[in-house]
Amino acid sequence: MSKATDRFMEAARAFGVRVHARRFPEGTKTAEDAARAIGCHVGQIVKSLVFVADGRPVVALTSGANRVDLERLAELLGAAEIRRATPEEARTATSFAVGGTPPFGYPERIRTLIDEDLLAYDEVWAAAGTPDSVFPLAPAELRRASGATAADLKES
Ligand code: 5CA
C-alpha cells in the first residue's frame, strides 16, 4: 500500500473505522473506473467531492451515479457562494489528492454532506487515499465516521 493509503488507514482508526483497502493496479480514479474494477454498481461508489462555500471547504459524499446540483448544495449549506475546489484547495483541506480523496480522516474536521442515495445500498466503496485504492463499508458507518448530514443533493 502507498504512503497515502497507510496515512488514511491510520487516520481512519482514530475515527473508529477498520479500513480494508484494496488496490487495483488498473486504477480507480473515477467512479466508473472504480465500479468496473470492483464489479459493483456505479451508484455504490462514493465520490468525495470538495467544494468551497463562502470561503470554507465542504465535502459532498456523492453517489457515483449522481451529479451534485450546486444550487441545491448552496441552499442546504445556507451559503451565498459555492464552487468546486481547485485540486490545490482540495489537497490543502483534505491532505489527499483529487482522485484518491477519502470520505473522512482529514487533518481538521470539514463540514460534510452525504447523498441520501448512498444510504440505500448494503455496501458502498470509497477511495482510500490514492487513485488506485478503495475500501468497502456500510453507508451507516460512512455517515457516522464522516459526521455527515444526509441530503438530496443531486441534479435531477
Ligand atoms: N477514486 C474515485 C472513486 S472513489 C474518486 O476519487 N472519484 S471522485 O469522483 O471522488 O474524484 C474524482 C473527481 O475529482 C472527479 O469527479 C472530479 O470532479 C474531481 N476533479 C478532477 N479533476 C479536477 C480538477 N481539476 N478540479 C477540481 N476537481 C477535479
pLDDT digits (tens, 9 = 90+) for 52-85: 999 999 999 999 999 999 999 999 999 999 999 9
- Signed CA dihedral, 57, 121, 13, 9: sign only: negative
* Grid coordinates of 26: 488498473
Q: H-helix or E-strand containing 115?
A: strand 111-115
For the Cβ of 32 lying below 6 angstroms from any atom of ligand 1, the answer is: no
Q: What CATH number is given for 3-148 in this structure?
A: 3.90.960.10
For the Cβ of 45 lying below 6 angstroms from any atom of ligand 1, the answer is: yes
Inter-residue contact 106 to 10 (CB < 8 Å): no
List the chain domain ranges. Answer: 3-148
pLDDT digits (tens, 9 = 90+) for 84-115: 999 999 999 999 999 999 999 999 999 999 99
* Predicted TM-score of the model (pTM): 0.96
Q: Tell me the C-alpha distance between 32 and 150, whole Å.
A: 23
Inter-residue contact 103 to 46 (CB < 8 Å): yes
Tell me, in angstroms, the distance from the centre of ligand 1 to residue 83's CA: 14
Nearest CA to ligand 1 atom 3: 31
- Which residue shows C-alpha cell 457515483? 64
- Which residue shows C-alpha cell 456505479? 42
